[in-house]
Amino acid sequence: MILRKSGIVDTRQLKTLLAVVEFGSFSRAADAVHLTVSAVSQQIQALEQEVGASLFDRTSRPAGLTAAGQQMAELADQLVRAAENAIDAISGRKLIGTLSIGSVRTSALSLLPRAMVKMNATHPDLHIKLRVASSETLLQDVLAGRIDAAMIAEHGNFPSALRWRPFLREPLWVIAPPGSPPLSAKTFLTTYPFIRFRANVPLAHIVDLELARLNLTLNEVAEIDTIAAITSCVANGLGVSVVPQVAIDDTAAELVRTPFGDPQMFRQIGLVERRSASRVVLIAELHRLLVEICGPNGVSSDPQ
């Protein structure tokens, strides 16, 4: 901690600091928080005096955060969120501030913007930010408090400081080009060219493990790292592949499908958050909306 016990930091200064970090300069931050550049500079200087450390390296252009500044920015984000949550709960006012959400690059990514739009309709003064990154990066961001929650597929063990709860449990299908005859999964996979999902993500691992267990001879014609591209290739007649339900729902093509796996395989996606998350009510609302959007594949569950 770099906060002193001798004084009280003004949350307005913290918000200004976060604006400078987000927009990359004092001038752009001034526009965002509706202050003059001079006022922004004065607030940052006052904050530096209070914490007893330089927060920005002013020898570089634009000024970058010092190590103390990086630590202060992380603390500022947590403090501002906690203050806003407390005021929301006590006053019953409209929800304001920022809800930061992360997501992996997944075929289910389209679900999250739909839920965000619904939340914005209910809370128009709430600013929701979406960031897409790898699961490892997102987990570290959630742990550090840089984002409030992240949409991540089920995998291994999550850190004990985090909790994960699924909102989607969807079946996996072997898909074939429109107009294909209705065949079994085994027949499709062994007689048609096969398009493999090649990516370091849980879904690809699930598919690969089941294919290995089935011990089928495949005629692989392509390796592709996005489900959307795979679905497009199948729709255009390149071959067959394995995709989750949401990929079929998101395409206009009349793909032929049959269950993958014996018994049929499923994959789960959920929200991960800190067990001490400050925006727990909002994250719970986002989870509820995601379950609703997922329809029959939605999972209403207790956090893990």
* Residue partners of 164: CB distance under 8 A and separation at least 6: 152, 154, 158, 270, 271, 272, 303, 304
Q: For residue 288, what pLDDT is reported?
A: 94
Q: For residue 214, what pLDDT is reported?
A: 92
135 pLDDT band, cuts 50/70/90, is: confident
Per-residue burial over 109-130, b = 16 or more CB atoms within 10 Å of its CB, e = otherwise: bebbeebbebbeeebeebebee
Mean pLDDT (whole number) for 10-35: 83
pLDDT at residue 239 is higher than 90: yes
272 pLDDT band, cuts 50/70/90, is: very high
Mean pLDDT (whole number) for 76-99: 66
Can you count the helices (H) and strands (E) in the chain? 11, 11
Token pair of 235, please? Answer: 């729709």
Q: What is the pLDDT of residues 46-65, one digit of tens each?
A: 888 888 888 888 877 777 88
Token pair of 115, please? Answer: 């839920």
Q: What is the pLDDT of residues 194-238, one digit of tens each?
A: 999 999 888 999 999 999 999 999 999 999 999 999 999 999 999
Q: For residue 90, what pLDDT is reported?
A: 55
**CA 60 to chain CA centroid, nearest Å:** 32
pLDDT at residue 16 is higher than 90: no
pLDDT at residue 259 is higher than 90: yes
With 0.85 as the threshold, say if the pTM is over it.
no
